[in-house]
Structures are given as structure tokens and as C-alpha cells.
Structure 1
């Protein structure tokens, strides 16, 4: 466990003292705090944090909490609209101290979350008060919606900006980052839109709270909003688990076949470029990217002595190499979210003319996703320096793909790649065992290999036999 630096501890202490100073006026006489409203809102916010501490409700299958502390802010934003600033800060403290903490040191993290949310709630309430939000929420003539809406959005914006600034400061002190870098990695980009939505929910709670129906009606807004946030958090936790699964598989391949390190990620990127030109979008793009990244995962099933062999392959060794698409398909067959990416892993070495492997499919028999990956794989193989060949210029690689279109590759996929690279360009890369190492000079190809890959003769090297470069 990495210890928390002294600067970070001092920063958290200062934030806690600041939060205490903001909340203290609510406790001193004569206090204008409406204790019934403040107490109920503080209890509601604390109640919203409790499921994250429950193993049954608050944890995803992987054992982590889908609801981070402070993930549900409508109650605090409603408090910012309904209460004086000091009372709004006070409502954040119980929930922050009860929040679930995944990593040690727990007491420092809880203190930080309580202090940060209290300071953000105080700043949001000051903003709302300056815009006369309490009066706009309700009166004899009912709520003044234009002014109340402006107050709620402004309060949510200040709430988000305050949390972002505080988060940047704690990142800078805890991780030793420059403040600008810490702020750039902070919450604003990914949290602004959710906070504005939470601000609207807080506005609805505030209006209903001030209505003749009272706090009970406000809970009708809170419950469905909370359930929606919980489901949304579960969805993102599941996506994060998917990404972690794929990263682990790719890292395993890179360790085993270090000469093609980075190749899988680049094939995934090139596959997405092609897919976008073909009009694919949304989840289909994710599937194509997964297919490109995982296309060579079957190398994990190939013996290392064969995979790293420098000299020509024997016919038996070549048959072993050509099993890697089937190995890969078998390895990921049970991963449901990959969808048709599994077929792409199995068929990315098939050829349009039927001369590929493992099943000799031809034309439209080859899944579309596999035809995309085949072109992306060949393109990156040609534009990267390998142990058996120097990188070719992008224009030369595209010309070679066009020459082989209709026999080895689908012409539609080749044309899409050409258009995409005209628009976005491409960063060629050297793939060697370690960054900065010298790449070996190209080896002379064995008889029948023609210095290329794909379905060339049996004298191919192991590395060449697992890439898609045209023959």
C-alpha cells in the first residue's frame, strides 16, 4: 500500500477545517437553520450512501462497489436550493463519513469525501442564494420556473467546479502531479453533464418540497432517480470489467510474442477506422474494435518455441501456427459481450478466393467483421518494422492491399481504409522487444516465403505466419 504523503494529509486537514468553518454558523445561535428540513435531507443523503456499503446491493460481481461515495447528488443540490449555505454544508457531512471506501487509508478518504462534498454544497448554496433560489422555488403564486431553473443549473455548475478543483488539488498532492495535469485528469469532463442532471432532479425535489404536498412528494423524485443512477453505475462497472478482461488478454499475448507488442491495439484502431467508413456505429464499432484487439489471442495456445522461432518453419510447425485462430475462438467463446468479434478471431486469416485458413471460406461466407480485421491486420504488419521486414511506407502498403483486393482481401474494406487514412492519416510504429531497443536487420526469407506473410510457403518464420501481410 502506498502511504499517503504528508502534503496530501495536510491538504485534507485544510479541506476538513474549511468544511467545518462553512458548517459552523448553522450550529451557533441565533441559527437560522430550519432543522426539520436540514435533518431530513442529511438523513436522506446518508441513506443514499448506505447501499454502497452493503455487499448484496452495493457490489458488482467483481466485488467492487458500483456506487462510489458522492455518486448521487440530487439531495445535496436540493439542500443547496432550500437551505442557507451553512446548513447545506452540514447535510453533506453524515453521508460523506458513511460512504464506502474501497482502498486504504479509509479514515483519510472518508474525511476527504465528507469535506469535499460539504464545501461543494456550501458553494452551490451560496450561488443559489445569490440568485434568490429559495424565493423562486415557491410562494403564493407558485414557483418561478425560469428563475428557479437558472438557479438550479448555476448551483449544479458551481458544485461540479468546486469538486473538480478540490479533486485536482488532492491528486496533485497525493500523486505528485503538476496541478494543471491533475486538474486535466479530474472530474469536470466526465462529471459536468451528470451533475447538471442531478441539479434538475434537485430542483424538482425542491419545488415539491415547497409544494402543499411536502417532503413526501419529493421522495417520489428521489427513488426513481436513485434507481436509475444505480443501474447506470452498474452498466459502467460492467463495461470497465469488459475492458479489463480484454487488456489482460492482450497483455498476455504481448508478453508471449514481444516482437508484435502494440500490434493488437493498432489493429483495433485501424479496424474502427474501416468500420466507420462503412457506416458502422455504436455497439457495432465496439465489437469491431474488440475483434481487432483480440485477433491474435490464440497465440497463447501456440508453443513459445514455435512462436519465437527465427528460422524457417517445418510443415508441422506451420500447421501448429495455423491453429491460432481456432485456439483464440475457443478461448473467448464463452465471453458473451464480444458477440461477432469471436467469429472475426476465428476467420481473420480466411481469404476472399478461398485459399485462407482455417476453413477455406470465400467471399461473403467470411463474416464481415473478419474481413475488416484481415485488412487492418495486414496494413499494420506492413507498416511496422518486424524481425523479418522493415516497415513499408503507408502509400506502398495501401498499394499492396489494393493489388490483393479481390483475391486476398475484400475490395470494400480496402477502399474504406484508403478513404479513412486520407482523412485521418496513420502513425507508423516500430514494434520491438522493448522501447528503445534496436530492431534487428531483416532476415533473408526462406524459399517460397517471398519475404511476406499470409498463405506463403512452408519456409515462413513463426512471426510471419501469424500476421496478415499479403503474399
Structure 2
């Protein structure tokens, strides 16, 4: 049974105010004497509403493999064309039917639909005012077409600013976030797509006013819809990737509860190092996946060995040292992981060649694996667990620097130090329940922690393997 979280009163009041504002913006289009060109407004409103219907139609969604683009963002060129072609009140009215028909994935459905309709109407109204102030209608009719570029882009920019400002406000009221936090990142993610939609809307407007008429303008939507379909497919595939990784990490956390949260933090530290090294954006995701999945091979290690309280026997240590190979076998068929699979296999290799499983040395060790090795050891040393206390960040860095060149790549250690100096690091308890006393670390036994380097001094005596 799904529990629906009620919408806070402040959020409901915010939506009501936005709806009243949208109604006030659209009302002049309905009052006489209105200069509304009803043929154009009606066609654009119907087109926008029609574009939103497939996302709500389950039968059509199944016929297309569940790949219908969701959300009004796929069809903003229609609204931006309306902002260029219509008076502000009519442009606001054009947005209302499609907004009310838009598919909503989560409850409360009616509140969300009302919000989306109101927000898009307000954005279209403001964009139309901007286009009118820059004489966009005259530019569309004139022979000098490039003159219309500036009004169209300005209208798209204002449309984007209004939508992101309103969306930040609803996030703040619905989720109780500070405004600065609620708005963070919204504009950066939305700006480029909205400007592209603005150009598509300009193309629609020009064709609409051309001798070819509205039928030609409709052709603009086809490539936009195809691109949105491809984008939706990409996001579905990415969501499936994330779900696969989450499932694997959760399985490891359930089996080895002592290191709960460790994988996510290693992924975060790995990205800090990779970004400091100047790796390309597409590699950052790969490095993060490598950090998150580096210990997935523990699923193949007997639980009695993972949770053993005392020192490991040589045989148990050999079993533990198989976990990189187990992990590589588990993930080698997952194509999107790329070089992350090599990091899973080689993150316990050492620069001096004394690591495992293959004793690689120096540059023979894949770069991604060298990143994860440093992130892994750092988190092990700075995390409080049920069997050891966390070391201060400075102490952990000093230990990493001491072993740079023998166990760890000095470039990776230096990159981590610079990143931590810039961004800091948030440590957290990973296995203790609130109020649990953390015992002093156990004395190391044969093949256990405290023998050769920082990863060993940070790793529990129960496993005897680097973090």
C-alpha cells in the first residue's frame, strides 16, 4: 500500500495563488472587446492539448513500448510559438488546456495538474509580453527574418526564468527547503533546452505566417517529438542502470552490514579525485560506478568470513582476496559500466606490485582502479564502524601520503588532498545504531589489520583485506 504524503498548506496556498494569477492573465482574452485571433489561439491550444494526450493514454503508451515522452517540456515550442503569434492573454489561455491534461506521475494528481497549468500559463504570458516589447510579430511578418531571432530567444529566456522561479517556489513550499537550495541547479539544467525550444517555436511562428500556413508549422513538431522520444529513452535506460547498481549495492550492504554506506562514499570520493584530475564528464559517471561497485564481489564471500569477529586464518584471507574477481565476474556483462569493470577487478593492486589479484604495478594498473584504491582506503580510515573509530581527515591523508608511491598512486593521493581542501568531507557512522558505544579497535591478528599500510590499518580484523 502506497502512503501519499499530504501536500503542505503553504504549497496549496502557493498553487492557488499561481492559479488565480494565471486566470487573471488569461481572462482578458475572454472579455469583449477582445483582440484575440481565435482561429490561431484555438488551433495552438488544441495542438498543445493533443500533444499531451498520448502520455496519458495507456493503450498508446503500450503500443509504443512505454516510450511516449512525458511532461509538458516536450511541447514547449507550441507555447513559445503562441507567445510570438498571440497577445499575452491569448498565449496564457493557450497553455491552460494542455497543462490540465498533462500526465502526472505522482499524487496529489489534481494539485499537480493545476500547478503545471498555472505555471506554464504564467510563463507563456510573460514570454508574450517580452516578445511584444521587442516587436516579434512585426519581425515575423517582415522580410528580414534574422530580426526575429532576438525576440524569440528573449521570450524563451524569460519563459525559462519564470518557470524555474515558480518551480523553485513550489519545491520550497512543498518540501520545506530554503529558497536558495530549492532553486539551486534548476536554471542551469533548463536554460539550454528552453533556448532550443525557443528556436523551434520561432520556426513554427515563421511557417505559420508564411503562405504555407499552419499545416507547415506542424512539421516542426515532428523532429522535436522524435528528439524528445530519444531523450526519454535515454533517461529510461539510465534509470534502469541506476536501479541495477542500487540493487547490487543494497545486496552487499545487507550481507556485510559493517560497511553500510561505504560504497556510496567511495563513489563520491572517487568523483572528487577524478574531477580534480580533469577527467571528462562522461568518465565521471564511470568512476562513480566503479567506486560504488568496488566491493560487489563480497556477495561471493561466505557471510561467516565477512562477519568473523576474530583474526582471519590464511585460508580465510585467500577467500577474501577473491572478492575482486568475483565482482568482475558479476559485472562484466553490464556493458554500460565500461572501464569501471576493470576498477572492480584491480582496486586492490598496489603500485609496487605487491597487491592482488594479479600483482600489477605502476601504470599497468588501470587509472580508474588507482582512483578507487585511494578513495576506498580514505573512506575506510575516516568512517566510524562498529569495530573501529574514525580517524581525522588530516590523519588519513597523512597516512595515504606516507604510502604514496608504494601502495597508492601519488597523483591520486594529491588530487584527493586538493579536492578535500576545496570541498571538505562529511563523515558518517556506517554500522552503529544511534546511541551505540563504539568499542576501541581490536588488536590485529595474523593477516589482519595494522600490518602494512593505511588500507590495512583501517580495515577490520574480521576481514584482513584493504577497505
Q: TM-score range, shorter-chain basis?
A: 0.7 to 0.9
Write out per-residue CA displacement over residues 211-250 of structure 1, whole angstroms, 9 at most, x where no aligned residue: 2332233233332123223322332343344334334433
Write out per-residue CA displacement over residues 2-43 of structure 1, whole angstroms, 9 at most, x where no aligned residue: 233455444434433433333233233333221221122122
Which residue does the alignment assign to 1:19?
Answer: 22
1:175 deviates by 3.4
1:85 aligns with 2:88: yes
1:354 deviates by 4.4
Q: Secondary structure at the match of 1:229?
A: helix
Once structures 1 and 2 are overlaid, which stretch shifts more, 386-395 or 76-85? 386-395
1:413 deviates by 4.2
Q: What is the distance in 2 between the residues matched to 1:288 and 1:395?
A: 24
8 Å Cα contact 1:277/1:419 also seen in 2? yes
Q: What is the distance in 2 between the residues matched to 1:466 and 1:193?
A: 52
How many residues align structurally? 462
Once structures 1 and 2 are overlaid, which stretch shifts more, 119-128 or 316-325? 316-325
Once structures 1 and 2 are overlaid, which stretch shifts more, 206-215 or 237-246? 237-246
Distance 1:349 1:85, change over 3 A: same
8 Å Cα contact 1:383/1:393 also seen in 2? yes
8 Å Cα contact 2:317/2:447 also seen in 1? no
1:332 aligns with 2:339: no
8 Å Cα contact 1:318/1:462 also seen in 2? no
8 Å Cα contact 1:382/1:392 also seen in 2? yes
8 Å Cα contact 1:42/1:92 also seen in 2? yes
Map residues 105-254 of structure 1 onto 2, 5 A cutoff: 105-137=108-140, 142-145=142-145, 147-179=147-179, 181-182=181-182, 187-254=186-253
1:80 deviates by 0.7
Q: What is the distance in 1 between the residues matched to 2:405 and 2:168?
A: 54
Distance 1:18 1:392, change over 3 A: closer
8 Å Cα contact 1:58/1:66 also seen in 2? no
Gaps in structure 2 of 5+ consecutive residues: none
Gaps in structure 1 of 5+ consecutive residues: none
Once structures 1 and 2 are overlaid, which stretch shifts more, 413-422 or 328-337? 413-422
RMSD: 3.8
1:198 deviates by 1.4
8 Å Cα contact 1:295/1:325 also seen in 2? yes
Taking structure 2 as the reference length, the TM-score comes to 0.84
1:461 aligns with 2:457: yes
Write out per-residue CA displacement over residues 49-101 of structure 1, whole angstroms, 9 at most, x where no aligned residue: 23323558758999686422344301101101100112112211221122112
